[in-house]
């Protein structure tokens, strides 16, 4: 970069990221598929596919919580378990939970907790299991979208639906629903990944994380973009839930 | 799983009349459904369903130094997870004995049959060989995971493409598939058939309830050998002991079943869409 360019204000320099690799518009989701009841043994289940990312979610409960010392006599609790299958990524992942999957399980739990009301089920637990058979970025948000549908399918009392999306900043351009290739974008300011989860009724944000660099102004725009995308996802979730045949 | 006594009695009464709750005959299988390529990140993958029981199997390849006792052969690793997603009976945490046994039986059936040509998986003797990691996930358990997992594994292996190997740098290019298939001996492919004995009735492809109340189970990995069958692994499970005569009867049943099913099974494994 020449010294002259460095003096330019941010607004003046144009983003190097002008066109998405897969031809999508900046605010366009990857092709979505949503299906309910994919795991008959579970009390509720769903599959959410976004482009090449697939998430399966199964819900069990409310059921008695073990170990007993974790029981809450005032309300039931939500417990989320997220993991990726060994063959979901290019280089085989070691089986079983790791630090990453445990952290993601916890943030998904926090993202879903405000949606449900377990006060009628003291001492019990609602277990949510999320598995990723095929990963191409955005696995935690796909997991949330699947889990949210599975909770509704299980008949858990719900106040609202959680819908989530990863918003990204590639150099200076804001885009939604990053693919792995986009996540690895390294030119200009590089890639910033912002998974967000919106609640359908209260419009509150129940999950937000960020990896990268962004200005507060851009972040506000990113949230707005995320909100629009989540409204679209919410419609897809509701449509899938209405199609249940049982 | 707790089965009420009344239900147990009913299952047995039905079986004595040659009937089952879902309308099948004792030796009849549920509908089999196959999907290949369930993960585009795997070198080979498949989902197999027998009725509502569903298993995912996926294969990942890598390159490693061979084991000291087999310097010129590839390495095969199988692991199975009874995911708590698949049944209220399964719990989170490290694999328990059921999952360990399942993985080991699948492993032996494939390894001992000679299905995988391990010699062809040697890149440089004593230095570099391919490793084949087969991972099995129970997605929905409605009985007979063992046989479903075996078929899913065979199909995943048959669909596996080799990764690109960079000779110069002596390393594998992850994510870059070639057109070359995993070296397999087609004729040696062994199919797992598990027989459950419920009182005096032999039952195939059990539901969870039938599996739970059975007195003993015995699994055979079999393939065709001229007009007969060849067995490459056996596992007897549960507390009920079997007489030699009973094992003879079970063998006949397995042989008949394999003859009946093999044309369809071979199609499932080898016919690519």
Tens of pLDDT, residue by residue over A126-164, are: 999 999 999 999 999 999 999 999 999 999 999 999 999
Domain definitions of chain A by residue range: 22-241
Tell me the shortest Cα–Cα distance from A162 to chain B, in angstroms. Answer: 21
The predicted structure's pLDDT at residue A246? 59
Q: Which of B217, B228, B272 is nearest to B250 (CA)?
A: B217
The predicted structure's pLDDT at residue B191? 96
pLDDT band at A5 (very low <50, low <70, confident <90, very high): very low
Range of the domain at B77: 5-270
Tell me the shortest Cα–Cα distance from A9 to chain B, in angstroms. Answer: 40
The predicted structure's pLDDT at residue B1? 78
Contact B269, B154 (CB under 8 A): yes
What separation in angstroms does the CA of A245 have from each of A192, A237, A240, B17, B167?
A: 41, 15, 10, 34, 54
Helix (H) or strand (E) holding A233: helix A216-242
Which residues of chain B are within 8 Å of residue A134 when distances are taken between CB atoms?
38-41
Tens of pLDDT, residue by residue over B182-239, are: 999 999 999 999 999 999 999 999 999 999 999 999 999 999 988 889 999 999 999 9
Chain B touched by A110 (CB under 8 Å): no
Q: Find the CB nearest A90 among B54, B92, B174.
A: B174
Query: Residue B150: is it exposed, middle or buried by C-beta count within 10 angstroms (0-12/13-18/19+)?
Result: buried
Contact B155, B56 (CB under 8 A): no
Higher pLDDT, B271 or B164: B164
Q: Find the CB nearest B40 among A56, A58, A134.
A: A134
pLDDT at residue A19 greater than cutoff 70: yes
Tens of pLDDT, residue by residue over B134-193, are: 999 999 999 999 999 999 999 999 999 999 999 999 899 999 999 999 999 999 999 999
pLDDT > 90 fraction of chain A, expressed in percent and rounded: 88
Chain B's closest residue to A63, CA to CA, is: B88
Q: What is the mean pLDDT of residues A61-89?
A: 94
Contact B90, B141 (CB under 8 A): yes
Q: What is the mean pLDDT of residues A64-84?
A: 94
Which residues of chain B are within 8 Å of residue A96 when distances are taken between CB atoms?
94
Interface test with B, best of A61, A85, A246 (most B CBs within 10 A): A85
Architecture of domain A22-241: 2-Layer Sandwich (3.30)
Which CATH number belongs to the domain containing residue B26 in this structure? 3.30.230.70
Tens of pLDDT, residue by residue over B17-74, are: 999 999 999 999 999 999 999 999 999 999 999 999 999 999 999 999 999 999 999 9
Sequence-ordered strand ranges (E) for chain A: 32-36, 44-50, 53-64, 77-84, 124-134, 162-170, 173-176, 191-199, 205-208
Contact B229, B113 (CB under 8 A): no
The predicted structure's pLDDT at residue A66? 86
Sequence-separated contacts (24+) of B170-175 with Cβ below 8 Å: B170/B128, B171/B63, B172/B61, B172/B62, B172/B63, B174/A90, B174/A91, B175/A90, B175/B41
Contact A129, A115 (CB under 8 A): no
Contact A86, B133 (CB under 8 A): yes
The sheet with strand A173-176 has its strands ordered as: A173-176, A162-170, A191-199, A205-208
Tens of pLDDT, residue by residue over A159-168, are: 999 999 999 9
pLDDT at residue A8 greater than cutoff 60: no
Count chain A–chain B contacts defined by CB atoms under 8 A.
Answer: 84
pLDDT at residue A3 greater than cutoff 60: no
Contact A48, A34 (CB under 8 A): yes
Distance separating alpha carbons of residues A137 and A134, to the nearest angstrom = 10
Chain B touched by A79 (CB under 8 Å): no
The predicted structure's pLDDT at residue B270? 94
Chain A touched by B171 (CB under 8 Å): no
pLDDT at residue A207 greater than cutoff 90: yes
* CB neighbourhood size of B246 (10 A): 17
Contact B221, B147 (CB under 8 A): no
Could you report the predicted ipTM of this complex, rounded to two decimals? 0.91
Q: How many domains does chain B fold into? A: 1
Would you say the C-alpha torsion B201, B207, B211, B213 has a positive or negative sign? negative
The predicted structure's pLDDT at residue A12? 54
pTM comes to 0.92
């Amino acid at each position: 970069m020449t010294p002259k360019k460095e003096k330019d204000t941010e607004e003046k320099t144009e983003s190097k990221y002008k066109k998405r690799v897969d031809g999508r518009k900046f605010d366009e989701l990857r092709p979505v598929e949503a299906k309910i009841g994919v795991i008959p043994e579970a009390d509720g289940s769903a599959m959410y596919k976004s482009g090449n990312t697939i998430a399966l979610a199964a819900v069990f409960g409310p059921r008695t919580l073990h170990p007993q010392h974790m029981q809450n006599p005032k309300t039931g609790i939500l417990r989320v378990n997220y993991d990726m299958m060994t063959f979901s990524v290019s280089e085989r992942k070691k089986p079983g939970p790791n630090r990453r999957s445990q952290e993601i399980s916890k943030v998904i739990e926090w993202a879903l907790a405000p949606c449900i009301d377990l006060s009628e089920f003291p001492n019990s637990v609602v277990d949510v299991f999320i598995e990723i058979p095929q990963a191409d970025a955005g696995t935690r948000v796909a997991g949330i979208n699947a889990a949210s549908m599975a909770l509704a399918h299980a008949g858990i009392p719900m106040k609202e639906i959680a819908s989530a999306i990863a918003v990204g900043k590639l150099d200076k351009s804001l885009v939604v629903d990053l693919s792995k290739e986009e996540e690895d974008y390294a030119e200009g300011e590089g890639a910033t990944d912002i998974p967000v989860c919106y609640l359908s009724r209260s419009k509150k944000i129940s999950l937000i994380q960020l990896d990268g660099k962004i200005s507060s102004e851009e972040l506000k725009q990113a949230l707005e973009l995320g909100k629009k995308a989540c409204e679209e996802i919410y419609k897809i979730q509701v449509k899938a839930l209405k199609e249940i045949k049982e | 799983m707790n089965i009420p006594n009344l239900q147990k009695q009913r299952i047995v009464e039905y079986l004595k009349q040659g009937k089952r709750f879902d309308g099948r005959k004792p030796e009849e299988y549920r509908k089999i459904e196959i999907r290949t390529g369930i993960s585009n990140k795997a070198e080979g993958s498949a989902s197999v369903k027998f009725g509502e029981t569903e298993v995912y199997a996926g294969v990942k390849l890598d390159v490693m130094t061979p084991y000291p006792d087999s310097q010129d052969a590839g390495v095969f690793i199988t692991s199975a997870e009874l995911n708590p997603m698949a049944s209220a009976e399964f719990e989170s945490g490290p694999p328990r004995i059921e999952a360990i046994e399942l993985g080991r039986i699948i492993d032996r059936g494939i390894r001992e049959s000679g299905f995988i040509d391990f010699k062809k998986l040697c890149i440089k003797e004593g230095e570099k060989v391919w490793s084949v990691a087969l991972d099995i996930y129970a997605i929905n358990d409605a009985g007979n995971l063992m046989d479903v997992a075996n078929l899913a594994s065979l199909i995943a292996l048959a669909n596996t493409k080799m990764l690109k190997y960079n000779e110069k740098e002596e390393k594998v290019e992850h994510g870059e598939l070639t057109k070359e298939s995993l070296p397999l001996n087609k004729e040696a492919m062994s199919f797992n058939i598990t027989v459950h004995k419920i009182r005096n009735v032999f039952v195939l492809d059990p539901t969870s309830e039938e599996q739970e109340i059975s007195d003993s189970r015995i699994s055979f990995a079999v393939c065709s050998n001229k007009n007969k069958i060849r067995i490459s692994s056996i596992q007897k499970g549960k507390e009920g002991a079997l007489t030699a005569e009973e094992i003879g009867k079970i063998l006949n049943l397995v042989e008949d079943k394999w003859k009946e099913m093999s044309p369809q099974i071979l199609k499932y494994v080898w016919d690519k869409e």
